[in-house]
Amino acid sequence: MPLDLLRFFVDNIQPLPEEDWTAFSAIWQPFTCRRKTLLTAAGDTERYLYFVLEGIQRSYYVNPQEKEATIVFTYPPSFSGVADSFLTQQPSQFYFETLTDSCFLRTSHGQLEALMKERPAIQGFVLRITSLVLKGVLERMAEQQTASAGEKFRSFLQRSPHLLNLIPHKYLASYLGLDATTFSKLLGSVRL
């Protein structure tokens, strides 16, 4: 059951009291879409927080010169969407798309915000998950700015080796901040 996966995920971060879990679980709706579906475009405000049940997605940025940079990949079990736009309700600078057919649970900003106002435990959970996301972003920024190409590649393989065969290599290279030639050389140097 989809809600069982969400509960397992929530319980591993910060368990909610039963009454709060019941209220929290009631705001999620199933949502499915095909591969290469653009869910959020730059300039749009993210209306939903997604919980990934199946599939792989990515968020990416396109600069004024049309250069694309993959920012993050999401896959089960994890929350997904353009987090900064969702939390601030400001227009997104990023795009959010599915790379494969995807199944989610999703909730709207209004539903989650109302629940956080009513239930401190849920507000605490959202603060905890936001803190963990921020921690991950800062660690990734430090790695991007200080690690060599080889170190970035090896770190990625340690974190998410299963993605190597599931995501187009051009997106992986972009995510790691590597050009295609360097990525290809590093890929050729590992045994899969």
What's the confidence (pLDDT) of residue 155? 92
Question: Is pLDDT of 192 > 70?
Answer: no
Give 46 or 160, the one with higher predicted confidence: 46
Report pLDDT for 191.
Answer: 65
Q: How confident is the model at residue 1 (pLDDT cuts 50, 70, 90)?
A: confident
- Determine the average pLDDT of the residues in 3-9: 96
Q: What mean pLDDT comes out for the span 63-71? A: 95
Report cis status (omega within 30 of 0) of the bond before 77: yes
User: What's the token pair of residue 132?
Assistant: 């963990």
Confidence class of residue 103 from pLDDT cuts 50, 70 and 90? very high
> Quick one: what percent of the chain has pLDDT higher than 90?
91
Q: Which CATH class for the 2-119 domain?
A: mainly beta
Averaged over 23-49, what is the pLDDT? 98
Burial class (CB in 10 A: 0-12, 13-18, 19+), 134: exposed
Domain boundaries, the chain: 2-119
**Is residue 177 scored above 80 in pLDDT?**
yes
The rounded distance, in Å, linking the Cα atoms of 153 and 176 is: 7
| 190 has a pLDDT exceeding 90 | no
